[in-house]
Structure 1
Amino acid sequence: LLDPQQGLPPLPGAADEARAVATSLRAAGIRTKLLLHDKATESAFRAAATGACIVHLACHAVLRPQASESPLFLAPQPPDDGLLLPSEIGDLQLNGALVVLAACQSGLGRATADGVVGLGRAFLQAGARCVLLSLWRVSDAATQQLMTQFYAQLVGTPEAPALDAAAALAAAQRSSRADSGDVAALWGPWLLVGDGGWRLQS
């Protein structure tokens, strides 16, 4: 769970989003590790992501002409530059994890006959079972709200059983749509790739 910087515009809601996600997961009996600000280095991320059932990144992503060079921005710590590239993501061992990329345009890339080459594909190749991505620039505040709803649906309550990833996203989008007055820019960019039937196992 990351709120990195590197001179980009601040993401004031990212840390609150990360804490809200962690609170929801802990309530379901899931151990969590928060990496905020300068703690969100590439090496710390790799260590935390290995073997995790959920990997959630609230950070900046930048789309570049070469999809293989479109990074997620983490915190730099020599010798790492803090730019997590698709080519580096393939080295992770995610073992069926749900990966959430709460970042702008994280679902874009280069269209090929074999699909879109970009961050989502890189995480799937690293072993993720399901990846939640955005198709355009997203509002920091609206993303925080939608992610809070998404995890609430994933975890469930005694009155409302936990949903799979696809149903949880649909429910979160309906809630965001109602709250935003049906402003598609706020609830519409999100999609899942991979197995939308992924469920949280406590």
Structure 2
Amino acid sequence: MIQPIADLLPTDPNAPVIFIPHQSLFLVPFAALQDPTGQYLIEKHTILSAPAIQILKLTRQSRQKVRQLSLQNNLVVGNPTMPKIGNPPRQLDPLPGSEQEAITIAQLLNTKPITGSQATKASITQQMLKARIIHLATHGLLNEVKRGDLPGAIALAPSGNDDGLLTSSEILDLKLNAELVVLSACNTGRGKLTGDGVLGLSRALISAGVSSIIVSLWLVPDEPTAELMAEFYRQLQKNPNKAQALRQAMLMTMKMHPNPQDWAAFTLIGEAE
């Protein structure tokens, strides 16, 4: 896939390479592609993706708007009290690893983590409207929940009359001003494949006004994911370029967890800075 364009790619590993995939190529972990020598693509390049050229224009406009607003709040959620799904209803398994991940990242972002029964859908949705960085470490649901035209949902704590499931369709109706949303959960980059990208959580967030999104392509393992995410935010404190920070986090995680399944699931969609 890469060999025909290899000589056109930048030689500077910090220069961005933006993929605009088509159909099932949206499910390819470009970071984990290997050349004939066994070197991973992420070892040579800083990688981003976008559903379409027009979406790049949209995320650029969102980024400019966010810069003007200069929001200071950061929102970090981990292991909410899990909602029930299905018929008959079954409660989703708790994620103690995600709670620890949230605690670590909240310290790095100088904020307080929201976990357990405090992480209600009603409360988190309101706080998302005022947040600059949003990190959600919880269950991502793909085909289990579909309301409206978009599949996908994020599991939050139920309260009152709501079931705790923040769906793609509900995200679509929000007016977000975040410069970065990280969905540290399983399958959050998947959805309904179309000619102009994946319809699901990632598209909903872009349409809601988010300029940069990090989502996953498969079921991510707890411990390597927590390490990768913490390293990503440490790198981001040194360098505001999100694509470069994610690359460095992948390279660091790769040393401890060499299997690409442990470090290559996450992809950055939208703006690097």
Q: TM-score, normalised by structure 1?
A: 0.87
Matches within 5 A, 1:85-164: 85-156=167-238, 162-164=239-241
Matches within 5 A, 1:32-43: 32-43=111-122
Query: 1:159 maps to which residue?
Result: none
Note the alpha carbon deviations across 1:48-102, whole angstroms, 9 max, x for none: 1112110000000121075724211110112211011000002222224200000
Contact 2:172–2:208 (8 Å) recurs in 1: yes
Matches within 5 A, 1:18-33: 18-26=102-110, 32-33=111-112
Query: 2:270 maps to which residue?
Result: 194
Could you tell me how far apart the structure 1 residues matched to 2:167 and 2:194 are?
Answer: 19
Identity %: 39
Letter in 1 for 2:99: A
Name the larger-Rg structure: 2
Letter in 1 for 2:247: A
Matches within 5 A, 1:2-13: 2-4=78-80, 5-6=82-83, 7-13=91-97
Which ranges of structure 1 fall in alignment gaps of 5 or more residues? Answer: 27-31, 157-161
Could you tell me how far apart the structure 1 residues matched to 2:242 and 2:176 are?
Answer: 17
Which ranges of structure 2 fall in alignment gaps of 5 or more residues? Answer: 1-76, 84-90
Could you tell me how far apart the structure 2 residues matched to 1:51 and 1:91 are?
Answer: 15
Matches within 5 A, 1:7-86: 7-26=91-110, 32-64=111-143, 68-86=150-168
Contact 2:78–2:137 (8 Å) recurs in 1: yes
- Secondary structure (helix, strand or coil) at the match of 1:72 reads strand
Q: Choose which of 154, 168, 172 in structure 1 pairs with 2:245.
A: 168
- Secondary structure (helix, strand or coil) at the match of 2:183 reads strand
Contact 1:2–1:74 (8 Å) recurs in 2: no
Q: Where is the strand percentage greater, Structure 1 or Structure 2?
A: 2
CA deviation after TM superposition for structure 1 residue 178, in Å: 0.8
Cα RMSD after superposing both structures: 1.5
Query: 1:29 maps to which residue?
Result: none
Count residues in correspondence: 186
Contact 1:133–1:192 (8 Å) recurs in 2: yes
Regions of 4+ moved over 3 Å: none
Contact 1:105–1:136 (8 Å) recurs in 2: yes
Note the alpha carbon deviations across 1:30-64, whole angstroms, 9 max, x for none: xx343211111111111211121100000001210
Greater displacement, 129-138 / 112-121: 112-121
